[in-house]
Amino acid sequence: MRGKPDDITIRAWARLMAAQHLALSAVERALKAAGLPPLAWYDVLLELERAGGAGMRPFALERAMLLAQYSVSRLIDRMERAGLVERRDYARDGRGQLVAITDRGKAMRRGMWPVYAGAIEQAVGRHLSAQQAGALDELLGRLVAGHRAEEVE
Amino acid sequence: MRGKPDDITIRAWARLMAAQHLALSAVERALKAAGLPPLAWYDVLLELERAGGAGMRPFALERAMLLAQYSVSRLIDRMERAGLVERRDYARDGRGQLVAITDRGKAMRRGMWPVYAGAIEQAVGRHLSAQQAGALDELLGRLVAGHRAEEVE
DNA sequence: GGAAATTAGATGCATATGCATTGATGTGGG
DNA sequence: CCCACATCAATGCATATGCATCTAATTTCC
């Protein structure tokens, strides 16, 4: 049987929800205000740029970004329409495909970064010392790691 | 000009997004698996129960839950249709209204709690000592407080 | 080698969200 | 008193999301 969380855990949970919500909406707002696409697009562009010229399989993107399959499928749709990524056939598996970043996509990612970075600094950096950021990272890392462990179960 | 975040800040940001996403989806999944409504409904029910019999103004709910106005309006719609809350006229201001929890709503909140609590324990409590939960709460509190401060600006 | 099961990705349909606007009421200044 | 303006809440419309299902290709296992 599952145990019950104690008060401090509940408070930490509530703060986790609130802090992320506030931080994320601040960043999304900043991007929108600058006439840029949503944050998810940045993440895709970054993944694809890291993946190199060959591109990346959609299902890999799915795992990297913690998104649902249909969600990735449609995200790629939109980004392809915007000319930021392109789909290519994947020779070694007829079902599959490769998604690659275009030059426009690279330019977009570069253009988004200053705004994104500034917003992160405002939402997070500004409020924490390096020590504190490190501690936060470490604590959140435990939660993330815990989930990864349960995935296997 | 806004400064740039350092690496550790960026890592903390990324972890904040990931940890919250994982924790929230785990909780939503647990509720759904138990045939219960989404988490937002719980939050509304809790707020309303705290507000007492008189109920609460929608705009107050809006601020308490960090939701958009139209979002609250529709949330109340759905919950009213489900018989968990009711809208009443607010005599002192003809534009306004009061939203109050019904008995069914109270029962629903009570029924949701064990599942919710169990899921919080699994998603957060399980992975942190009380000390760590406290530290996490404190660090996240800084971020939340920071946002509140900027709201005024 | 071939039927059954699995995997990759797309999509129809219902529901939810965001944005802008509306309608209705309330408030403040001249 | 009345007009301009602010506030509360709802809603039309476009877009996004979730769920279930579908098609196509691949793998498994007999």
The answer to whether residue A18 sits within a structural domain is yes
Per-residue pLDDT of chain B (153 residues; tens, 9 = 90+): 567 889 999 999 999 999 999 999 999 999 999 999 999 999 999 999 999 889 999 999 999 999 999 999 999 999 999 999 999 999 899 899 999 999 999 999 999 999 999 999 999 999 999 999 999 999 999 999 988 777 654
Residue B2 lies in a domain: no
Separation between the CA of B24 and the C1’ of C22 (whole angstroms): 35
Give chain A's count of helices (H) and strands (E).
6, 2
Residues B73, B61 contacting (CB under 8 angstroms): no
Residue A153 lies in a domain: no
Say how far apart CA A27 and CA A29 lie, in whole Å: 5
Question: Could you tell me the distance in Å between the CA of residue A21 and the C1' of nucleotide D23?
Answer: 38
Contact: A12, B137; criterion CB under 8 Å: yes
Q: To the nearest whole angstrom, how far is the Cα of B125 from the nearest Cα of chain A?
A: 6
Is the CB of residue B74 inside 7 Å of nucleic acid strand C? yes
- Are A125 and B26 a contacting pair at CB < 8 A? no
Q: Is residue A70 part of a domain?
A: yes
CATH number of the domain enclosing A108: 1.10.10.10
Asked whether A12 and A72 are in contact (CB, 8 A), the reply is no
For chain B, the domain total comes to: 1
Dihedral, B99, B100, B104, B109 alpha carbons, nearest 10: 90
Exposure string of A60-86, with b = 16+ CB inside 10 Å and e = fewer, is: ebbebbebeeeebeebbeebeeeebbb
Instruction: Show the tokens assigned to B30.
Output: 């647990």
For B52-83, the pLDDT digits (tens) are 889 999 999 999 999 999 999 999 999 999 99
Phi, psi dihedral angles at A111 (to 5 degrees) = -70, -30
Assigned domain for A130 exists: no
Residue B94 lies in a domain: yes
**Residue A93, domain extent:** 7-123
Q: Does B35 reside within a domain?
A: yes
Alpha carbon of B82 to those of A26, A85, B61: distances in Å? 33, 43, 18
Nearest to A8 among B127, B137, B142 (CB): B137
Spatial distance between the Cα atoms of A65 and B27, rounded to a whole number of angstroms: 19
Query: In this structure, is residue B1 part of a structural domain?
Result: no
Chain B residues with CB-CB distance to A19 below 8 A: 16, 20, 140-141, 143-144
pTM for the model stands at 0.91
